[in-house]
Copies of this chain bind each other. A is one copy, B any other.
Amino acid sequence: MIIVMQQNATREQIKDVAARVEDLGFRAHLSTGEERTIIGVIGDERQLQGSPLEILPGVERIVPILAPYKLASRDFKSQNTVVKLGDIAIGGDAVVVIAGPCAVESREQLRETAKFVKEAGAKALRGGAFKPRTSPYSFQGLGIEGLEMLAEVREEFGLKIVTEVMSPVDIETVCKYSDMLQIGTRNMQNYALLHEAGESGHPVLLKRGFSSTIQEYLQAAEYILSHKNYNVVLCERGIRTFETATRFTFDINAIPVLKGLTHLPVIADPSHGTGKWDLVRPVSRAAIAAGADGVIVEVHPHPELAKSDGAQSLKPSVFAELMADLAKISAAVGRYLA
């Protein structure tokens, strides 16, 4: 951490700030420039987070030097983490595709979906039983009943199940019926939920908050990791910007940036990242071309009848085309489709 003093800071003020730093158990290292004095703070600055050094008299601002997360960083672990759902490995050489409906609507819809995604080559099925909806008047999901349907389909088709959990009280139940907990974009900073997901030890698909910086995103992952649950997969799913032509702006830069900063696997959700089914194919291709370890996409046997997110769901034939696309792009970047 660097403390930048004001241009007109007095010697007394500089001395006091340095003394405060030492009091807190750190060493202070002064450097006097032409226009400003700066004080280097030697020690593990993460312990100073929240300490309001910046309001001491004479201080202009504080510049953190270290990333505010540790377990999630490449500094801590340089090799890629591979998260396993049974025989499926996310974060290795293979590119993984997870597909399924936004919401579980019925046994028939789910079986029909499982059948065609399995045939087209997907390895895991997504589908929401608990649905976070912007409006209280929208379909809120089938709850436990939906989870049971997912478990049945898992049995029948041999697909791994990824499903969302919205409340700490539901974690135990959702773990029972699924192979991977999904924490949605609106809950990325729901710390009660992150703590419990960490405790569960279950694999977690942690979506990026739609207005969270990459740094905050890795801090959210750190919450889970700090409970010794290292089975965390990250997922870029679009951020909120001024652009209204798409529902969100898929942050393609985030893919290589995350791969550089963290050892955790990174996948992409172009369905939410665009909000329009006809953008899902090009943006999925782009994500894999940029280095993503997989994609999670919304599909539906009859998108025009979907109870939620129909506009961004792929119908079976388009999903098959997407799989063909991704096989080619994976090969072009030296990988292969799982």
Contact = CB atoms under 8 A, between A and B. Distances in A.
B138 A252 contact: no
B255 A253 contact: no
Given A34-B43, A47-B137, A249 B253 contact: yes
Interface in A110-169: 132-140, 166-169
Interface in A278-310: 278-279, 282-283, 285-291, 303-310
A304 B191 contact: no
Interface stretch (A52-60, A91-99, A199-207): A52-60
Interface of A: 2, 4, 7, 29, 31-36, 38, 40, 42-44, 46-47, 49-52, 54-56, 63, 65-66, 68-69, 75, 132-140, 166-169, 186-187, 189-192, 210-211, 213-216, 219, 222-223, 226, 239-246, 249-257, 260, 273-274, 277-279, 282-283, 285-291, 303-311, 313, 325, 328-329, 331-333
30 contacts: A2-B2, A2-B38, A2-B63, A29-B31, A31-B40, A33-B42, A33-B43, A34-B44, A40-B40, A46-B137, A49-B135, A49-B138, A52-B309, A52-B313, A54-B311, A55-B304, A135-B222, A136-B222, A137-B226, A166-B191, A211-B240, A214-B245, A239-B249, A240-B242, A246-B257, A250-B252, A253-B283, A282-B289, A282-B290, A331-B332
